[in-house]
């Protein structure tokens, strides 16, 4: 069995890799060859097309606003590896193979099929292809194998973050790790299929610029997002932005230079609690998104979320708010393009989350950005 200490060593090795898209672009004139997803110009979300960013965004997204220095990752990893070593027992305890298949693979009330197909299979598959192209651009041998191994570090972290209370095993982890996460990667090995999603569906990774507060030990913008756009006319498209932060149906206008303005409206399950040792959502949030992008690459985004009347406390328990205004989120992202320090492009992220205000800075040279923010409302803290 792989121990938690070994997982930590793998993560530290990945974070220490000085594989930087901006530096490579300067040295090699940003020759993208015939890559389908990877871009090395260091602009917009392209600045975060690195193994460090992809691992951290996927592995830490389910921690939400809880302190990461106190997050029970060790327990989560133990539950995930126990599930993998006792697959049959985990599924039978859950209710049997038929219930497992129906809940994880078919549309059911628990809603697991949506993230399983949309985020794990589709999103994980295309990011594997993106990261393979990234490693290939660095001349790394066995770039496909390294891409898969790198992303599985993030996958394991994601499942561990969600399995803190899965004392009888996590069927969600089994479905994702043993099927959706790797089948999606197989799907995007096909060049024709991958090129179709990139050229016809305009599939792109839209990070929200993960940043860390070293004083409060909390993350903001932690979570993966991806974008798809289907042109309706020469200057109007219907788009989709989906991921752990929010989901939006987007209306996009573009000019002849592929500069785009977008308005998105969406909903997202919130307030995860545990029922029968499995995570369940207790509330829905509502969001509005505005964005300026170039060639489907985000340059400025503004995001507002409200409408959830339940939150997840540090203990993992779910409570109901008597004042939903405290759960509002307003986040503005200015991606690396227009601001530079010593010839290095930087990004800015700012806003209000859970009753606190934050300001952060990001760079492709860092595995995550750094931010400072005020103390959040007491009911959103796991360290009151």
Task: Give the C-alpha separation, 19 to 25, whole Å.
Answer: 11
Residue 249: which residues within 8 A CB-CB, separation 6 or more?
A: 238, 239, 240, 264, 265, 266
Do 184 and 119 contact (CB within 8 A), yes or no? no
Task: Give the C-alpha separation, 384 to 381, whole Å.
Answer: 6
Q: What is the pLDDT along the chain (384 residues), one digit of tens a residue?
A: 444 454 444 444 444 444 444 444 444 444 557 899 999 999 999 999 999 999 999 999 888 878 899 999 999 999 999 999 999 999 999 999 999 999 999 998 777 888 999 999 999 999 999 999 999 999 999 999 999 999 999 999 999 999 988 888 999 999 999 999 999 999 999 999 999 999 999 999 998 899 999 988 889 888 889 999 999 999 999 999 998 878 899 999 999 888 999 999 998 766 555 555 555 555 677 889 999 999 999 999 999 987 555 444 444 454 444 444 446 889 999 999 999 998 899 999 999 887 789 999 999 888 899 999 887 665 555 654
Question: The whole model's pTM is what?
Answer: 0.84
Could you give the residue ranges of the DSSP H alpha helices within the chain? 4-16, 21-28, 51-60, 73-85, 87-94, 97-105, 113-115, 124-137, 143-162, 171-175, 181-187, 191-199
């Amino acid at each position: 069995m792989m121990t938690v200490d070994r997982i930590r060593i793998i993560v530290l090795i990945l974070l220490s890799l000085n594989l930087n898209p901006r530096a490579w672009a300067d040295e090699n004139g940003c020759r993208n060859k015939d890559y389908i997803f990877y871009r090395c110009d260091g602009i917009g979300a392209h600045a975060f097309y690195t193994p460090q960013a992809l691992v951290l965004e996927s592995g830490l997204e389910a921690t939400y606003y809880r302190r990461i220095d106190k997050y029970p990752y060790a327990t989560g990893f133990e539950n995930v590896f126990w599930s993998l070593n006792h697959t049959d027992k985990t599924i039978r305890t859950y209710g049997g193979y038929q219930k497992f298949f129906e809940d994880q693979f078919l549309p059911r009330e628990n809603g697991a099929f949506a993230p399983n197909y949309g985020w794990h299979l589709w999103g994980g598959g295309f990011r594997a292809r993106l990261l393979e192209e990234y490693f290939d651009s660095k001349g790394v041998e066995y770039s496909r194998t390294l891409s898969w191994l790198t992303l599985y570090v993030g996958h394991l972290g994601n499942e561990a973050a969600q399995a803190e209370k899965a004392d009888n095993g996590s069927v969600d982890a089994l479905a994702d790790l043993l099927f959706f996460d790797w089948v999606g990667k197989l799907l995007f090995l096909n060049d024709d299929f991958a090129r179709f999603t990139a050229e016809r569906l305009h599939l792109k990774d839209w990070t929200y610029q993960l940043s860390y507060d070293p004083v409060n030990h909390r993350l903001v913008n932690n979570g993966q997002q991806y974008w798809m756009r289907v042109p309706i006319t020469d200057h109007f498209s219907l788009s989709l932005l989906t991921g752990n932060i929010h989901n939006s149906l987007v209306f996009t206008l573009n000019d002849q230079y592929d500069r785009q303005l977008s308005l998105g409206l969406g909903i997202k399950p919130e307030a995860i609690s545990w029922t029968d040792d499995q995570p369940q959502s207790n509330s829905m949030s509502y969001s509005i998104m505005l964005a300026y992008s170039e060639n489907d690459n985000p340059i400025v985004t503004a995001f507002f979320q409200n409408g959830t009347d339940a939150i997840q406390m540090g203990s993992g328990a779910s409570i109901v708010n008597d004042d939903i205004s405290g759960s509002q989120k307003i986040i503005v992202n200015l991606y690396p393009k227009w601001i530079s320090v010593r010839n290095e492009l930087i990004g800015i992220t700012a806003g209000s989350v859970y009753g606190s205000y934050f300001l952060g800075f990001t760079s492709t040279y860092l595995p995550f950005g750094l931010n400072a923010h005020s103390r959040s409302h007491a009911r959103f803290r796991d360290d009151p």
